[in-house]
Amino acid sequence: MANIEINAPGTSQLFIGNEAIARGALEAGIGFAAAYPGTPSSEILGSLAQVAKKMGIYAEWSINEMVAMEAAAGASFAGIRALAAMKQNGINVVSDFLANLVMSGTGKGGLVLVSCDDPSAISSSNEQDTRPIAKWLDIPLVEPGDFQEAKDMTKWLFDLAEELGTLCILRSVTRIAHARGNVKLGELPTKQHKAHFDQIHDLKNVMPTTFMPLPSSLRHFFLHMKLDKAREKFESSPFNRYVGPDKADLLIITGGSCWLYSQDAIEALKLRDRVGILKLGTLWPLPERFVTEHLNKSDKVLFVEEIDPFLERSVMELAGNFPPNALRPTFYGKRSGHINAYGELNPDMVIKAVSTILGLTYQARDVAYSKKSEALVKSTVPERSMTFCAGCPHRATFWAIKNALKLDGRDGFVTGDIGCYSLALGPAGFFQVRTMHCMGGGAGVANGLGKLGQFGFDQPVIAVVGDSTFYHATIPALINGIYNQSKFILVILDNSATAMTGFQPHPGTGMTAMGEPTKAVSMEALCHALGAHVEVCDPFDLKGTTATLLKMMAEDSGAKVAIMRRQCELIRAKKEKSPYNVRVDVEKCIGEDCGCDRLCTRIFLCPGLVWDKKAGKSRIDEVICSGCGVCVDVCPQGAIIREAA
């Protein structure tokens, strides 16, 4: 990670977008930051936590996004500038609090929520767009178009949030959050933080009040006043600008990373003299006068934006209010089909849209070259599907789950959740996971299924959650299952980290975000206290784990807990050497013959095992094999040998 705390104003540093946002928060003088990890947002809190002690601020990984936001609001109420960061899914977790927070208003410390969206859902379960939420919350939302803006906007947004006394959202996307660019640094504040909760505070020059959303109608009215004030400021914001001819053949309206794609497209098409770009940074409330002025630039308008047609609809709404005889441009975008209605965009897509609208033909490079380069790249990349790492305890767990469900024979299944183990939807986890929605959702769904006995339902239900997900959102579902006697097994895949997002600590790990040792919250003590039947298994013991699951499935009682305890292989490998040297005895390996049909490389699919087609034998890829030795117990012929390393 970069040194986001470097005190060298005026110099340029190479930051990923998330570090730029964290730096902006430091320059804004935040004292408090809280987050729950989620790609692509995780590095914001991660980089702040690293420098927190040095910078005299506080940073925490919260149990979930809701608590992160509430904790940050608490700091704001006591006069500390505070930031909460999350991925788009987190917005849903926190939305109930948000809907009330916007009514109560924030405290003397500016409060900013950073939400990182994931167009194309590269690392997500959905590609939800944060922008419309600002609209229904009636709060300002801005979006940086590059790395410099990511820092500058964050700093500026704290000022705005504090001035308005309302929560403000900074929306970012994967290609800003995780791409890297130069950022010119500003000053770091030297002011000491002093926190105090004023019993009665001044609701932004309106009335003395407490922090609550009541009386709601009146609060709603005040909220709209704040929004009007924000709109007025946005009319002259430097984050909104137009580049292009005075009279253009086409006007592109865009924002965020799509601004970069649009610039690339216009450059490639050499259309700088014909196409103008209106780049918006303050997306809600829309700076209506500023946008209206620029709508005159062309009779054709193309909206370039990812996921929802947010700008498209907002501008069309605006145009709908034009006087009856006013000129209205033709609008192109998601509605017209010129821009994809879902997924990430790229310069090629923008080139295609612009070319279609203006009737141009454009060929970036000849087709033969494209094909040749594609083939070349493919030839050097090993063929591998999306899978668990070699030595991952999840593969062993799902092997045991698969076999236990099959042996039980009642067509049992797994309700899944969010984490590395979501991969069990596919071959990595032997297609075991049959439902997957949100954090904690799998256990919730299992609660319902587990109560269907009276309707003839006899299928065993296993809800899998990761350890971090367990703390995050699963505990209420487990309590419900115990209280209402729902029949399911909650399998907690305890690999002792929030592994998927980068091994962040969680309440069970005994470590804080700032690297301090702390009290670990024991999941089995918690489950025991709830009255659950708890079993702790080592998933590498395939036989024992399968037997335990079979036994639990055969029991009649309500919600039960099976903890699969094995540290994430990537963490273990950083600390110690491989436990085993693993090799294949080629004499014993019968490959594709009857009695095996290459179980290890066809079904088990650990990337540490490779199929040597020529020899007709399996072999260990020593570079990838982690030496966990689990495959030894999978091989039906005893052909895989493990020796203590």
Partner 1 sequence: MTTKGCKELVSEVIETRLCALCGACTGNCPYLTYYKGRITLLDNCSRTDEAQCYEYCPRTYTDMNAISQKIFGTPYGENEIGTVKDVFMARATDNRIKKKAQYGGAVTALLSLALTEGVIDGAVLTKTSDDKSPAPFLAQSVDDVLKCAGSSYMACPVLGRYNQIPKDDSSKLGIVAMPCQVLSVAKMKTVPPANRVSIGNVDMVIGLFCTWALSPDTFYQFLKENLDLSKVKKFDIPPPPANRFDVYTASGKTSFPLEQIRKHTMLACSHCLDMTSEFADISVGSVEGTEGWNTVIVRTDAGADLMQRAKRKGKLQIDKLPESNLEHLKEAALLKKKRALNEIVKRSGDKKNLLYLSLSSQLTKKLLA
By the 8 A CB rule, do 99 and 135 touch?
Answer: no
Q: How many residues bind partner 1 (CB under 8 A)?
A: 20
Nearest alpha carbon to residue 253 among 318, 330, 306, 305: 305
Q: Which two tokens stand for residue 98?
A: 């948000």
Pick 512 or 637: Cβ nearer partner 1: 637
Q: Which of 296, 636, 643, 645 binds partner 1 (CB under 8 A)?
A: 636
* Distance of closest approach, residue 435 Cβ to partner 1, in angstroms: 22
Pick 452 or 596: Cβ nearer partner 1: 596
* Distance of closest approach, residue 634 Cβ to partner 1, in angstroms: 8
Pick 273 or 597: Cβ nearer partner 1: 597
The rounded distance, in Å, linking the Cα atoms of 390 and 406 is 24
* Distance of closest approach, residue 546 Cβ to partner 1, in angstroms: 10
Pick 277 or 404: Cβ nearer partner 1: 404
Residue 208 DSSP SS3: strand
The rounded distance, in Å, linking the Cα atoms of 545 and 562 is 9
Pick 359 or 409: Cβ nearer partner 1: 409
Pick 61 or 604: Cβ nearer partner 1: 604
* Distance of closest approach, residue 11 Cβ to partner 1, in angstroms: 59
Q: Which of 180, 184, 371, 406 binds partner 1 (CB under 8 A)?
A: 406
Q: Which of 121, 195, 637, 641 binds partner 1 (CB under 8 A)?
A: 637
From 18-26, 53-61, 401-409, 611-619, give the range in contact with partner 1 by CB under 8 A: 401-409
Q: Which two tokens stand for residue 29?
A: 């003088």
247 binding partner 1? (CB under 8 A): no
Q: Which two tokens stand for residue 530?
A: 């709830």
User: In the beta sheet, which residues pair with residue 642?
Assistant: 582
By the 8 A CB rule, do 148 and 13 touch?
Answer: no
Sequential DSSP letters for 350-376 = HHHHHHHHHT----SS-HHHHHHHHHH
The rounded distance, in Å, linking the Cα atoms of 67 and 60 is 11
Torsion region of 379: left, alpha or beta (phi above 0 gives left; psi -120 to 50 gives alpha): alpha
CA 493 and chain centroid, separation = 20
Q: Which of 92, 120, 209, 403 binds partner 1 (CB under 8 A)?
A: 403
Q: Which two tokens stand for residue 414?
A: 């797994």
Q: Between 351 and 390, how does the x/- string for binding to partner 1 read (CB under 8 A)?
A: ----------------------------------------
158 binding partner 1? (CB under 8 A): no
346 burial type by CB count under 10 A (0-12 exposed, 13-18 middle, 19+ buried): middle
Residues 576-635 that bind partner 1 (CB under 8 A): 590, 592-597, 599, 602-603, 634
341 binding partner 1? (CB under 8 A): no
556 binding partner 1? (CB under 8 A): no
Pick 328 or 613: Cβ nearer partner 1: 613
* Distance of closest approach, residue 338 Cβ to partner 1, in angstroms: 45
The rounded distance, in Å, linking the Cα atoms of 579 and 439 is 33
The rounded distance, in Å, linking the Cα atoms of 424 and 72 is 35
402 binding partner 1? (CB under 8 A): yes
Residue 416 DSSP SS3: coil
Q: Which of 430, 470, 488, 540 binds partner 1 (CB under 8 A)?
A: 430
Position 190: which residue type? T
Pick 335 or 434: Cβ nearer partner 1: 434
* Distance of closest approach, residue 636 Cβ to partner 1, in angstroms: 4
536 binding partner 1? (CB under 8 A): no
Pick 74 or 591: Cβ nearer partner 1: 591
The rounded distance, in Å, linking the Cα atoms of 398 and 421 is 9
Question: Which letter, b or e, does each residue of 278-306 get, where b requires 16 or more Cβ atoms within 10 Å of its Cβ?
Answer: bbbbbbbbbbbebbbebbebbebbbbbbb
Pick 96 or 458: Cβ nearer partner 1: 458
Pick 187 or 597: Cβ nearer partner 1: 597
567 binding partner 1? (CB under 8 A): no
Q: Which residues bind partner 1 (CB under 8 A)?
A: 402-403, 406-407, 409, 430, 590, 592-597, 599, 602-603, 634, 636-638
